[in-house]
Structure 1
Amino acid sequence: MKPEIGAWVSIASYISLAIIKLIIGYMANSDGVTADGWNNFSDIVASVAILFGIKIAQKPRDHNHPYGHSRAENISSLIAAFIMMSIGLDVVGKGALSLFNGERDEAPQWVAAWAGVFSAFMMLGVYWFNKRLSERVNSQALAAAAKDHLSDALVSIGTVIGVVGAQLHIFWLDPLAAFLIGIMICKTAWHIFSETSHMLTDGFDEQALTTYEQEIAAIEGVKHVSDVKARMVGNQVILDVTICVDADLTVAKSHEIADEVERMMKQQHHVETTHVHIEPDQNLNRS
């Protein structure tokens, strides 16, 4: 299944939910549902950005992009994070103002609560679909979109809590739920931003590097590993490793060891690109 299918599912879901919530929000006199509708409307922009990122990432490499265009997905994830953060801060601000200053005297109609319940279940379904798809196609952009879907489901649940609270004349539940959900949206956005920026600045998991080094050092003919580093290019790992071998080995035998390193990394860790640099073992020369 192609990764862009997930983006199209997100766009279709957000368009339908935005229309439904805006109509019901105005008809049922629910500020929460109306705001949630505009929230989904703004999510359409993030989903379109992710769709473009996925499309660009699939372009083959050219003379200007020798490593391909995979990092376009990372950029689209950053855009999604910025949009989520802006929405989260807006929800936090409005929730805080309503919590300390606002006072409602009219409860929205029950249909607003049912709209929130329907939206929550729908977004949970889209979250599950895109999360599974992102794992299958190894797409960071879809993984970021899935986290956004989960945040949207929580927003809808908060809307339901607010409507129920208003019906019970507990009007402060609505702004409190909005405030807490806004915090959760901001937290999710920050997680996506920090994870994506770490990859774009060539950060890599130290534990994974240690595992790579230990397994490469265990290959027959490798005396020790003098250097190992890796970076992410889109969703692919690029590994650079320097190994030391017996200085008396022929070029052909040294090349066989390098091929075994590449083969092991591909089979065991799905690393498609491993650059192996071979050096003579200085300890043997000194002996």
Structure 2
Amino acid sequence: MELYTNLRAGEKGAYLSIVTYIVLSIFKLTAGYLGNSEALRADGLNNTTDIIASVAVLIGLRISQRPPDDDHRYGHFRAETIASLIASFIMIYVGIEVLISAVKSMTNPVEVTPDILTIFVALISAVIMFGVYKYNYNLAERIKSTAVKAAAFDNRSDAFVSIGTAVGIVAAIIGFPIIDTITAFIIGIIIIKTAIDIFKEAVYLLTDGFDSKFLAKIRADIERMPQVREITEIRGRQHGGMMLIDITISVNPNLNVRRSHDISNKIEQHIQSLNSEAVTFVHIEPYDPKEMVISEDDYHF
């Protein structure tokens, strides 16, 4: 199944993020302490939590690849969404820690000028993280993975954070050391904001939120099929990378089973042409018991 192949491909993005964050966190924390930059230390601390978040995404992708069993008839695809949720909690915790540290530094300032080397560390980190973001975002779009996309947005946030860190360090070097601490505070806010966005997306999917415009498109297309007398109900929900669509339609009650089945197949094939990972369940009901005549439209496909 293509969906399982996509999940395995998504692991590459998770591994890339993990390795990059390990290297950058060591690089930033070391340079931050040796170069006396609180903003760079905060950025490095942020990357250490990104390691944990990326590991959570990787575990979620691994669990999602498990085949259906007696307790999970639809498979384990939502594990990657749960992984995104866990990652958001970790990020919120770290963001709060960074804010607390920054506030303490503001109330008890220490006049220390960061080393100029810390500027280059921040800028190099920004370039690397933007490259990782582009890779993971394109990968997420190709394999339709919410977890990898959440990781990509985290990567982009980290790139912007590193740019902000460089700006704060420059300001501190030219005579405004408080800017370095203020930048650390802003970094904490950015971390929390990114975490909240990931949290909202994960909760939306876990509570069966679905694109109403896509459902409206499906409804409009089916209503144009002459064999369909009425659409009684149409629902959708996301199950990891898989899209589940439930449709109840009414047809001529005098059609035989084969013709009714053909109508169902036509609807399923059309929806799959709109989204290759869509799995559609069509329930057929009789439209009107009084309708006795079968028209040519009922047989025309």
TM superposition score category, shorter chain reference: over 0.9
> Are residues 14 and 72 of structure 1, via their aligned partners in 2, closer, same or farther at CA, if it must alter by over 3 Å?
same
Does structure 1 conserve the Cα–Cα contact (< 8 Å) formed by 2:42 and 2:187?
no
Code of the aligned partner of 1:249: L
Per the alignment, residue 198 of structure 1 pairs with: 204
Q: Distance in 2 between matches of 1:167 and 1:246?
A: 79
Task: Tell whether the 8 Å contact from 2:24 to 2:125 is kept in structure 1 after alignment.
Answer: yes
| Residue 136 (structure 2) aligns with | 130
Q: Secondary structure at the match of 2:66?
A: coil
Contact 2:43 2:187 in 1 (8 A): no
Q: Which residue of 2 aligns with 1:179?
A: 185
Residue 68 (structure 1) aligned with residue 66 (structure 2): no
Task: State the match for 1:223 in structure 2.
Answer: 229
Are the aligned partners of 1:242 and 1:277 in contact in 2 as well (CA < 8 Å)? Answer: yes
Is 1:250 the counterpart of 2:273? The answer is no
Secondary structure at 1:276 match in 2: strand
Q: Is the 8 A contact 2:241 2:277 kept in 1?
A: no
Task: Give the whole-Å Cα distance in 1 for the aligned partners of 2:33 and 2:177.
Answer: 19
Q: Post-superposition shift, 1:283?
A: 8.5
Letter in 2 for 1:52: I
Contact 1:98 / 1:175 at 8 angstroms: preserved in 2?
A: yes
Number of the residue aligned with 1:109: 115
Task: Measure how far apart 1:285 and its partner are.
Answer: 4.4
Structure 1: runs of 5 or more not aligned: none
Change (3 A) 1:69 1:50: same
CA-CA distance at 1:284 after TM superposition = 5.7
TM-score of the superposition, structure 2-length normalised? Answer: 0.89
- Partners of 1:95 and 1:132 lie apart in 2 by 35
Q: Per-residue deviation at 1:172?
A: 2.6
Amino acid across the alignment from 2:167: I
Residue-by-residue CA offset, 1:191-248 (whole Å, 9 max, x unaligned):
1111111111112122221111111111230112110001111111111100111122
Deviates more, 1:121-130 or 1:32-41: 32-41
Separation in 1, partners of 2:43, 2:137:
22
Match in the other structure for 1:48? 55
Q: 2-side partners of 1:193 and 1:229: how far apart? A: 24
Q: Which residue of structure 2 aligns with residue 282 of structure 1?
A: 288
Task: State how far apart, in whole Å, the 2-side matches of 1:4 and 1:67 are.
Answer: 21
In 2, Cα distance between equivalents of 1:283 and 1:119: 69
Identity between Structure 1 and Structure 2 (%): 41
In structure 2, give the amino acid aligned to 1:24: A
Q: Which moved more, 1:84-93 or 1:12-21?
A: 84-93
1:240 aligns with 2:246: yes
Picking from 28, 36, 54, the partner of 1:21 is 28
- Unpaired stretches in structure 2, ≥5 consecutive residues: 1-5, 294-301
Corresponding residue of 2:66: 59
Size of the aligned set, in residue pairs, is 286
TM-score (norm 1): 0.93
Report what 2:217 is aligned to. 211
Contact preservation (8 Å) 2:57, 2:148: yes
How far does residue 97 in structure 1 lie from its aligned partner after superposition? 4.2
Distance (Å, rounded) in 1 between the aligned partners of 2:165 and 2:274 = 46
Aligned to 1:119: 125
Deviation, structure 1 residue 143: 0.5
Indicate if the aligned counterparts of 2:80 and 2:147 stay in contact, CA closer than 8 A.
yes
Distance in 2 of aligned mates of 1:242 and 1:222:
10
Give the whole-Å Cα distance in 2 for the aligned partners of 1:34 and 1:175.
10
SS in 2 for 1:279: strand
Cα distance between partner residues in 1 of 2:210 and 2:101: 38
Name the residue aligned to 1:81: 88
Contact 1:219 1:261 in 2 (8 A): no
